[in-house]
């Protein structure tokens, strides 16, 4: 009931916000010219203003089973089947005079209301460059830049272990270069303030800034991406990171100070990376670096994708470099400067003749040639992926473990706005910090998603 009340309140807020904007922005003589229509969502449009309302619901079911060593040492018992609303969101977006745009989106998954997107965008400020200010996704990784409504598998690859998520900041983008084949993005962010934690508990400390850059090139781009070759590179520098560890105190000079015992041993650290065990519908994190020291973190990623009609292939590789002014010293509980990496390769084919639309350095909404109905069945896509992450660097005092997953997926696109997904995942693990006695482990998962977005 509490979730229902929050949903109603959020919907009311979005409606009132849009109506206020509409009333203020549209001249009186133009209000009679408003048009209401459906374009993969509810749209209202006049000469000076466009407003849209929408949302998404992604309901997941999961059945899993692992070998005995994994269930005992990592999961603490038999693996429990699960269900969840992976995403449950409402949004309002609009544009005034084709120059100023906005979006506000709230996620109710997990029974809590959290801000996903909340930003204002100034279009074509100079030479086709847009400026976006507010809570938004940082421009890094092809799989992350592609909306969760359109990704090929239920969950993104293990490379998302290193993705920062939503952050508050300012972003410059230009997707119109070289006849829409070249896209550039650069932003500065406060990562810890994503989803609305602007101050007080949960906010960032002094410092904690990130600079994120991404460039993509499509040397071949025809028919909205039916024929495309995509190349991309991304870089991120995160200073004084606060990225999920047990916490620390930063001084005004932005030098991280870790609480210590009288012997000098560190008792609290700043950062941690974790990876789930092949599915989101469980709280089990198989991989965990535990807390490690970090004065800064750099990430370098490479992207490659190609599509030839019904066949699509895609892959990425990312390196993570941790810097700090301490050397690994087990006696003092200090970690050094570990290096991590992750990668994935995937391929998919449409049995019914469709393709994945591409624009601006990312993939978009699949539109079945014949949607489910009297004369149509929808679209069928079959896909396979191998992805891996390494969170172990023993020479620098970190042993988070290694994970490699093999995923087979079948997607049924009933309409452009509805699809049913089924994935089989074989997740394999070794060198787990949380289970040092476990040399190797594996988990098998069968999961399905029922998705509607508008």
How far is the C-alpha of 247 from the C-alpha of 411, rounded, in Å? 41
Q: Among 91, 160, 147, which Cα is nearest to 119's?
A: 91
Residue 101 lies in a domain: no
Percent above pLDDT 70 for the chain: 78
Backbone angles phi, psi at 225, to 5 degrees: 100, 0
pLDDT of residue 102: 96
How many degrees, rounded to 5, is the angle at CA 342 between CA 451 and CA 217? Answer: 75
Q: Structure tokens of 102?
A: 């906005």
Residue 17 lies in a domain: no
Residue 291 lies in a domain: yes
Q: What is the pLDDT of residues 335-378, one digit of tens each?
A: 788 999 999 999 999 999 999 999 999 999 999 998 887 678 99
Residue 182 lies in a domain: yes
Q: How confident is the model at residue 166 (pLDDT cuts 50, 70, 90)?
A: very high
Q: What is the pLDDT of residues 263-291, one digit of tens each?
A: 334 334 568 899 987 788 777 788 888 88
Residue 358: count of CB within 10 angstroms of its CB: 23
How far is the C-alpha of 307 from the C-alpha of 329, rounded, in Å? 49
How far is the C-alpha of 195 from the C-alpha of 52, rounded, in Å? 22
Residue 48 lies in a domain: no
Residue 396 lies in a domain: yes
Task: Tally the domains of the chain.
Answer: 1
Residue 35 lies in a domain: no
pLDDT of residue 265: 40
Residue 72: count of CB within 10 angstroms of its CB: 16
- Extract the runs of DSSP E, i.e. beta strands, from 205-330: 209-222, 227-239, 249-250, 256-257, 274-276, 285-288, 296-308, 311-323
Query: Which residue range forms the structural domain that includes residue 416?
Result: 54-84+120-453
- Choice among 83-87, 164-168, 201-205 with the minimum mean pLDDT: 201-205
Residue 317 lies in a domain: yes
pLDDT of residue 201: 36
CATH of the domain at 442: 2.40.160.10
pLDDT of residue 23: 53
DSSP 281: S
How far is the C-alpha of 211 from the C-alpha of 189, rounded, in Å? 6
pLDDT of residue 244: 54
> If you search the block for the tokens 């039916």, which residue do you land on?
226
């Amino acid at each position: 009931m509490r979730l229902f009340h929050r949903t109603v309140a959020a919907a009311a807020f979005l409606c009132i916000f849009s109506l206020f904007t509409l009333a203020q922005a549209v001249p009186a003589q133009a209000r009679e010219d408003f048009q209401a229509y459906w374009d993969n969502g509810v749209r209202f449009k006049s000469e000076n203003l466009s407003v849209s309302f929408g949302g998404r619901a992604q309901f997941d079911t999961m059945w899993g089973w692992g070998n005995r060593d994994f269930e005992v040492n990592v999961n603490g018992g038999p693996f429990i089947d699960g269900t969840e609303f992976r995403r449950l969101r409402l949004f309002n977006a609009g544009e005034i005079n084709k120059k100023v745009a906005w979006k506000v989106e709230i996620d109710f998954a997990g029974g809590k209301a959290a801000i996903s997107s909340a930003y204002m965008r100034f279009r074509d400020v100079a030479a086709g460059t847009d400026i976006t200010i507010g809570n938004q996704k940082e421009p890094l990784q092809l799989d992350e830049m592609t909306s969760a409504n359109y990704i090929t598998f239920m969950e993104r690859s293990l490379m998302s272990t290193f993705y920062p998520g939503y952050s508050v900041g300012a972003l410059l983008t230009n997707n119109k270069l070289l006849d829409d084949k070249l896209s550039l993005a650069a932003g500065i962010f406060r990562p810890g303030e994503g989803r609305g934690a602007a101050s007080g508990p949960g906010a960032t400390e002094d410092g904690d800034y990130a600079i994120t850059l991404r460039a993509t090139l499509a040397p071949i781009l025809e028919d909205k991406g039916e024929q495309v070759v995509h190349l991309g590179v991304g870089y991120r520098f995160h200073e004084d990171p606060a990225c999920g560890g047990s916490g620390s105190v930063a001084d005004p000079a932005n030098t991280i100070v870790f609480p210590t015992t009288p012997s000098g041993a560190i008792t609290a650290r700043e950062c941690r990376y974790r990876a789930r065990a092949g599915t989101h519908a469980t709280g089990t994190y198989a991989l965990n670096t535990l807390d490690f020291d970090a004065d800064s973190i750099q990430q370098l990623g490479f992207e490659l994708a190609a599509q030839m009609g019904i066949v699509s292939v895609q892959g990425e590789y990312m390196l993570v470099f941790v810097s700090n002014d301490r050397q690994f010293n087990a006696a003092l509980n200090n970690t050094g400067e570990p290096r991590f990496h992750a990668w994935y390769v995937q391929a998919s084919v449409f049995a019914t003749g469709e393709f994945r639309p591409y624009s601006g350095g990312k993939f978009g909404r699949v539109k079945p040639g014949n949607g489910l109905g009297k004369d149509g069945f929808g679209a069928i896509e079959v896909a396979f992926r191998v992805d891996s992450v390494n969170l172990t660097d023993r020479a620098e005092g970190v042993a988070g473990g290694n994970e490699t997953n093999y995923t087979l997926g079948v997607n049924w696109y009933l309409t452009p706005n509805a699809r049913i997904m089924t994935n089989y995942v074989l997740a394999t693990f070794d060198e787990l910090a949380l289970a040092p006695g476990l040399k190797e482990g594996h988990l098998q998962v069968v999961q399905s998603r029922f998705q509607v977005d508008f």
